[in-house]
Structure 1
Amino acid sequence: MHTARRLAAIALPAVLALTACGGQTPQESGSDQPPAEGFPVTVTDARGEVEFDTAPQRIVSLSPSTTEMLFAIGAGDQVVAADEHSNHPEEAPDTALSGFTPSVEAISEYDPDLVILARDAESAVEQLETVEIPVLLMPAAETLDDTYAQMEMLGDATGHADAAEEAAAGVRSEIESIVAETEDELGDTELSYYHELDTGMYTVTSQTFVGQVYALFGLRNIADEAGDTAGGYPQLSAEFVVEQNPDLIFLSYPGGRDNVDAVAERPAFDQISAVRNDRVTELDPDVASRWGPRVVDFAQKVSDVAVAAAQEEG
């Protein structure tokens, strides 16, 4: 008997979600814990209200950010499968399930009483509900407050409301502490940056979740000056980046040090302040693209780079 019921549907705008990589081996069983107290409970996902009669015990998470949240709030034992890109934490179930093009047949093999999908996979919701598999549809977070709210919502839905509230408060507190310390270190130093998503020079504006993390530290995003910001993810030209002359460059895609060296070798990039001063930074693409609890790690990395640059200029 399934534990969730869809109560109402609402339409929300689609949001771009970025992900990274993982592996592939099916898991066998979920948590043996009894249903948590506090049920029934109603939560609101991207389509409307969903009522849970009991806490789901066999969750399939098809979004890396959601998987990380579930483990952070203490619901990891209830996760029996996660998508191929859910590679954190290490104990996350390692499968070949796709979060972009979910297979109802493959998902059904795990006998889930809840499937959590990213907004990109909304087309699969009706198929899953047709075979009576309850679904939560999670949009990409647009702000840090969205991250905290999603953690708390998942806590309510899984029977870990108190732990989720504590986890969200912890992430908020750590972010606020990093920002306060960084402000003291930066003082009046003004820095500009360019965040590169791939070698095609796609980037993010300050209107995206990623861009808003940088904005916490008062960094100026050169992409905001682009003529066409393409919904927050414009493709810049090499000439534009050179002209904007960012103080910092962050690379958010696989490749490591080779990517840093390749940027320095681009025509005219040796004129850019970030390249001249060895301030091209490689980011963990998973950490820098997910809106789960590891946003703290992303914020700390940005802070460290900005503070180091400010100290050099001071």
Structure 2
Amino acid sequence: MTVDRTPNRLRTAAISLAGLTAFGLSACGTGVSTPDEPDTAAAEGYPVTVENCGEELVLEAAPTRLVGLSPSQTELLVELGLTDRLVGQAQTDTHPLPEQVQAEVADVPELSDVAPPTREVLLEAEPDFVYSPTTYEFTTEQGFASIEQLAEVGADAYVATGGCPERRSQGTVDDLFTDIENLGTIFALPDRADEMTEEGQSRLTAVEEAIEGAEAPSVAQLYVEGATLMAIGGGIEYDIIARAGGDNVFDPDEAAFSDFFAATITPEEVTSRDPEAIVFSVNDADHEEATRDYLAQTFPDVAAVSEDRLVAVPASDLFPGTLGNIGAVEHIAEGLHPDRF
């Protein structure tokens, strides 16, 4: 198998390739003042501690000025009931929010559209809590604020569990529930967090029961961008295929995926494995059409293409720490087992 593990922003934006870099370099001056200390009433029941990316995150009070560094994170904060605390949303053009959520955040400032906000823009929003899907959004080499720089102005940073560097290749859908629980603790909203977890687990159980006993078709999970063909062999995406009742033809135990959950491959590699279904992630309608054309032209004799068993999934539903993970399981299961739904 031809393998290219060189990280780039295309992969990060398209299929949320997280954990590519370290947490950032030393801080530099920003000229932004530290947010005011919370009052005594706001700090009742604190401090609280949660584990995030192998480190303890200690909060002395519930954060009041929040930034979601991707629509997925913004949506989760809204669903927790924290809309009135949002002071910024980022990467807003990477995928659309549900209509109801769009309406709720209509007045929340947009800090960036297709890339994370620069250090200056993020710090000007004066957040005290920043929620990110990956560690990429904190790389100083890209001009973003590091976790250390945020700490200097009194802002805590939380990375989706599945987007932590040490977790990205082994992540599962259950990582989402870890995030919900942690956020419930951080914001003193345990009841709402429990409700969201119960609802999500109920949806996953419904899929499991629907496909029980069904034969698992072989599945290749791919991402196509221009002439680049990538296969997914680990991480949350791999777990989503398994929960949807598919048998991924690419495996975490393969050398190509020993260090990273995705790898660039040749078309011949897909042809040789002849998957019965192909699941592919897309950024928008044009990207889906282009990918379908590519698959039809490149793999006319592969079973998945000849039998038209192709399942497109919004790339955003595969991001770490997003409710879309559950929707992806449901959507793919319907595509793989239409007779069960």
* Band the TM-score falls in, shorter-chain normalisation: 0.7 to 0.9
1:49 to 45, 53, 56: 56
Which one is further off, 130-139 or 243-252?
130-139
CA deviation digits over 1:147-193, x for unaligned, max 9?
A: 10111101211232210121022111211111111225x2xx23111
1:201–1:236 CA contact under 8 A, matched in 2: yes
Give the distance between the partners of 1:135 and 1:232, measured in 2 at CA. 24
Do 2:223 and 2:231's aligned partners in 1 also have CA atoms closer than 8 Å? yes
Rounded Cα–Cα distance in structure 2 between residues aligned with 1:115 and 1:172: 26
1: distance between equivalents of 2:85 and 2:176?
21
2:219 match = 193
Q: Percent identity?
A: 22
1:143 maps to which residue?
Answer: 172
Query: More deviation in 44-53 or 230-239?
Result: 44-53
Equivalent positions of 1:1-314 (< 5 A) are 18-19=12-13, 35=42, 38-46=45-53, 48-85=55-92, 87-88=96-97, 89-90=101-102, 91-92=104-105, 93=108, 95-97=110-112, 102-117=117-132, 118-123=134-139, 124-141=146-163, 142-184=171-213, 186=214, 189-199=215-225, 200-205=228-233, 207-224=234-251, 228-229=256-257, 231-254=260-283, 255-266=287-298, 269-308=299-338
**Structure 1: gaps of 5 or more residues:** 1-15, 22-33
Post-superposition CA distance 1:211-244 (Å, at most 9, x none): 1111124422112286522522122211111111
CA displacement at 1:68 relative to structure 2: 2.5
Report the Cα offset of residue 263 of structure 1.
1.1
Aligned residue pair count: 277
The alignment partner of 2:231 has SS state of coil
The answer on whether the counterparts of 1:248 and 1:280 sit within 8 Å (CA) in structure 2 is yes
SS at match of 1:51: strand
Q: Deviations over 1:87-109 (max 9, x none)?
A: 42313435133896653321222
> Given the superposition, is the C-alpha separation of residues 45 and 227 from structure 1 closer, same or farther in structure 2, using an over 3 Å criterion?
closer
- Could you tell me which amino acid in structure 1 is paired with residue 201 of structure 2? R
Report deviation, 1:59.
Answer: 0.5
Q: What amino acid is the match of 1:121?
A: E
Structure 2 residue identity aligned to 1:272: V
d(CA) in 2 for partners of 1:101, 1:306: 35
CA distance 1:261–1:250, shift in 2 (3 Å): same
TM-score computed with the length of structure 1 as normaliser: 0.78
TM-score under structure 2 length normalisation: 0.72
CA shift in 2, pair 1:132/1:69, >3 Å? same
Equivalent position SS for 2:250: helix
Give RMSD over aligned pairs.
2.8
SS in structure 2 opposite 1:106? helix
- Closer, same or farther: CA 107–289 of 1 in aligned 2, 3 Å: closer
Partner of residue 10, structure 1 = none
The whole-number CA distance in structure 1 between the counterparts of 2:216 and 2:162 is 30
Between 1 and 2, higher relative CO (CA 8 Å, sep ≥ 6) is seen in 2
